[in-house]
């Protein structure tokens, strides 16, 4: 096991470089040094200067490479873009194409860039998932929001307690290929292109619904209050949705983010980003939150073409 190489995928554009830098820095600091880590950044035309900034984190056990996914999705771009909201980009779909793009890999991690890893990432990779497609963590933003609970149960067709967040995944790439998950995804996209609150996440939940392992919440702890959460089990902080410490004060586990960010070359950039976040930006964000919730309500009540209805779930 000492020579084990652990593949870890991220999706990133130029705007997300500072967050990716913090995520990688935190992961590297806490990773088991007995293993090697192959970091693969899926992108479409990252600036060379930004690649150089991220690549400064590489060393003899921590390699970093960049894969342009543009050619792979070029024919699907219109369909992938159709249901995106202001708060998403096509990059959310990159993870769907990892199994086909990397046939030499049987297993990998996929991580969102807005994270700080405080545990040993090799422990997540070594999770025994047997023949399951993914190991993932319940999405607490859904279970804590009644409108989202109704959406995932009435429109997606998954119990809220079984609905996982797609930002932290252990992916069984061999099984993805065996079950032709990419083809199933593309077929559903082209045939129905479901109106969706969280498109890639909804598709993954549907496609993996019978073959998943649910992991402890500590591997994907969102900044949501939880009096029952044992902080000693914290492995990874995920600042998803609109709870961003680089925008707001008082974000739960915001101190974890800033403690890590301060040790990187991206700290001043991130602080400046927070200083620039204005009342107008906050108002626009509040409007986006309201839109997200209202879309969940509308789809679950009114949309005739949903996963649950079309697939008879």
The per-residue pLDDT for range 215-268, each reduced to its tens digit, is 999 999 999 998 889 999 999 999 998 889 999 999 999 999 999 999 999 999
Write out pLDDT tens, residues 29-61: 999 999 999 999 999 999 999 999 999 999 999
The C-alpha atoms of residue 169 and residue 273 are separated, in whole angstroms, by 28
Domain ranges of the chain: 5-241+288-310
pLDDT recorded at residue 87: 56
* pLDDT at 164 exceeding the cut of 60: yes
The C-alpha atoms of residue 83 and residue 239 are separated, in whole angstroms, by 23
Termini Cα distance of the chain: 42
* pLDDT at 120 exceeding the cut of 70: yes
pLDDT recorded at residue 48: 98
CATH architecture classification, 5-241+288-310:
Alpha-Beta Complex (3.90)
Quick one: tokens of 253?
A: 């586990």
Q: Are 168 and 220 in contact (CB under 8 A)?
A: yes
The C-alpha atoms of residue 43 and residue 19 are separated, in whole angstroms, by 15
* pLDDT at 295 exceeding the cut of 90: yes
Q: Cβ atoms within 10 A of the Cβ of 219, count?
A: 22
Write out pLDDT tens, residues 65-106: 999 998 888 777 776 766 655 556 787 889 999 999 999 999
Write out pLDDT tens, residues 130-152: 999 999 999 999 999 999 999 99
pLDDT recorded at residue 185: 92
The C-alpha atoms of residue 199 and residue 203 are separated, in whole angstroms, by 6
| Alpha helices, H only, 126-250 | 140-143, 146-151, 173-178, 181-191, 199-207
The whole-number average pLDDT for the span 160-167 is: 97
């Amino acid at each position: 096991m000492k020579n084990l190489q652990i593949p870890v995928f991220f999706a990133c554009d130029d705007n997300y470089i500072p967050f990716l830098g913090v995520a990688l820095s935190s992961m590297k600091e806490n990773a088991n040094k007995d293993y090697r880590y192959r970091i693969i950044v899926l992108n479409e035309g990252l600036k060379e200067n930004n690649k150089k900034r991220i690549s400064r984190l590489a060393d003899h056990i921590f390699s970093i490479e960049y894969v342009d996914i543009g050619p792979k999705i070029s024919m699907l771009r219109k369909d992938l873009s159709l249901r995106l909201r202001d708060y998403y980009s096509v990059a959310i779909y990159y993870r769907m194409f990892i199994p086909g793009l990397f046939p030499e890999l049987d297993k990998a991690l996929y991580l969102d860039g807005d994270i700080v890893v405080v545990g040993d990432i090799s422990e997540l990779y070594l999770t025994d998932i047997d023949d399951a497609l993914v190991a993932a963590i319940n999405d607490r933003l859904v279970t804590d929001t009644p409108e989202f609970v109704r959406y995932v149960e009435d429109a997606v067709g998954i119990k809220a307690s079984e609905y996982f967040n797609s930002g932290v995944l252990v992916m069984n790439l061999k099984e993805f290929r065996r079950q032709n998950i990419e083809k199933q995804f593309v077929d559903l996209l082209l045939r129905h292109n479901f109106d969706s609150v969280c498109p890639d996440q909804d598709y993954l939940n549907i496609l993996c619904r019978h073959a998943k392992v649910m992991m402890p919440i500590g591997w994907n702890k969102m900044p949501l209050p939880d009096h029952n959460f044992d902080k000693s089990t914290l492995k990874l902080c995920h600042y998803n949705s609109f709870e961003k410490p680089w925008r707001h004060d008082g974000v739960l586990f915001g101190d974890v983010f800033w403690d890590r960010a301060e040790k990187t070359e991206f700290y001043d950039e991130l602080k400046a980003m927070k200083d620039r976040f204005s009342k107008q930006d906050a108002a626009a964000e509040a409007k986006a939150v309201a839109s997200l919730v209202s879309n969940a309500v509308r789809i679950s009540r009114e949309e005739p073409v949903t996963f649950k209805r079309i697939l008879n779930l």
